[in-house]
Structure 1
Amino acid sequence: MTFLLRFGAVCGLLSGLFIALPGAVEAFTGETAVTSFILGMSPALAVPLLTALHVGQMHATGPLGSIGYAVNLIGLSLFGGAAYALNLVLYYLGETVTNNLATPTRSALLGSALVFTVGTVLFTIAMVRARVYPRIPVWTYGISLPVFAIAARLPDTPLTSALHVVVGATLAWLATAIWRRAALGDVVRTEMDAEGVS
């Protein structure tokens, strides 16, 4: 269990950095091939973070936590696939192609953002109720990630860049909280083992 928490924390920290740093750079340079590539990779690293968040609070969330996790995981997978396609496929095809996407493609991209938004809200409610993680990043997760999903296809502006930084910092903060929980669990286990020996 400790490995899963630590793995999720490391992946979450990287995912946060892979969102925040390109967002900060794009505020000055606009979207580039490098920033687009890094952003496209970030959702894959967010999946272990989401799993670690769920594992770390399962004892306190009940059925709502499991449902929120399941919907958020499916939404993250769909939205992550859309982000990958937008940043690593459509980016290189140019605006002419991306502006003329077929209706089913546009609907699929919008649908992935909506499922991700619903899952994020449900999972946030579970995190708020569980009171396992710090309140500020939990609330920011529940507010900024849905906005992030809906704003994914907006033109790059300083506002969207700032949103990237906020989302990335939130994921990194939650990853740090998971790491601390894993470290605390190690300390408790060590103390219990020592008491059992004495």
Structure 2
Amino acid sequence: MIPFLLRFGAVCGVLLGLSLGVPSVVEVFTGETAATSFAIGSGVAFAVPALTAFLLHQGAGTAAYAVNVVGLGLFTGVAFALNLFVFFLDEPVVEDLLAGPTRFAVLGGALIFVTGTVMFTVSMARAKVFHAVPVWGYGVSLTLLAVLAPLGDTVWSSASHILAAASLVWLSATVWSAPGNAEARHRAPVGRPPVPGTG
């Protein structure tokens, strides 16, 4: 089961990265469009399988994973709604919507997401299974995405999407290239040091 989850999660991570990065590059020239919003909003479905693969690959950080996956569930729902529903509403309607209770739901989800992201980033950095560059890229870019999401389409949000895309693809490629090491970490007897990663 673990090899399948690793491979499946790695593929999902690449698809998630592409769904963030490619539309953001396009938006640099065209601005936000219905097509780019659809791609970003739909791509968030791949987030949880990708995160699960990262956890299985490094073999540590279950508490951080738990917080991050709950935050992902909340924030991906926000991203889905913003890109596939709110995008098509008139500006006055959006302002009224975000001025009410919806605003607190969005902010609460973003807070849990950022907390989980920071925790999981620290767990990856401590485990030293993945390369440090995509690990910190993951933490910084996803935190910025949550902070900048309510501000709409800006150059900074596009840059954050592209950085997140590159980090996710790099992490996913590491998972795909070394599934055997992850299996060895899960099967290692108690007291025996885990097999070092190749990330």
TM-score, shorter chain, exceeding 0.5: yes
User: How many Å apart are 1:158 and its aligned residue?
Assistant: 2.2
Distance across 1 between alignment mates of 2:69 and 2:76 = 10
1:157 maps onto 2:157 in alignment: no
Distance across 2 between alignment mates of 1:125 and 1:145 = 14
1:42 corresponds in structure 2 to: 43
Distance across 2 between alignment mates of 1:29 and 1:153 = 20
1:9 corresponds in structure 2 to: 10
User: How many Å apart are 1:153 and its aligned residue?
Assistant: 1.7
Summarize deviations over 1:9-39 as a string: whole Å, max 9, x none. Answer: 0000000000001111111111111000000
User: How many Å apart are 1:108 and its aligned residue?
Assistant: 0.4
1:89 corresponds in structure 2 to: 85
Larger Rg: 1
2:23 corresponds in structure 1 to: 22
2:122 to 125, 149, 155: 125
Task: Indicate the SS of the match to 1:99.
Answer: helix
Give the residue type in structure 1 aligned to 2:34. A
Relative to structure 2, which stretch is displaced further, 105-114 or 157-166? Answer: 157-166
Distance across 2 between alignment mates of 1:131 and 1:28 = 38
Summarize deviations over 1:70-89 as a string: whole Å, max 9, x none. Answer: 00000001000000000011
The TM-score normalised by the length of structure 1 is 0.87
User: How many Å apart are 1:94 and its aligned residue?
Assistant: 2.2
User: How many Å apart are 1:49 and its aligned residue?
Assistant: 0.5
Distance across 1 between alignment mates of 2:137 and 2:155 = 19
Task: Indicate the SS of the match to 2:153.
Answer: coil
Gaps of 5+ in 1: 187-198
8 Å CA contact 2:56–2:182 kept in 1: the answer is no
Give the residue type in structure 2 aligned to 1:14. L
User: How many Å apart are 1:147 and its aligned residue?
Assistant: 1.1
1 or 2, which has the higher helix percentage? 1
Give the residue type in structure 1 aligned to 2:165. G
Distance across 1 between alignment mates of 2:48 and 2:95 = 29
User: How many Å apart are 1:183 and its aligned residue?
Assistant: 5.9
User: How many Å apart are 1:145 and its aligned residue?
Assistant: 0.8
CA RMSD in angstroms comes to 1.6
Size of the aligned set, in residue pairs, is 182
1:104 to 97, 101, 105: 101
User: How many Å apart are 1:185 and its aligned residue?
Assistant: 6.4
User: How many Å apart are 1:159 and its aligned residue?
Assistant: 2.4
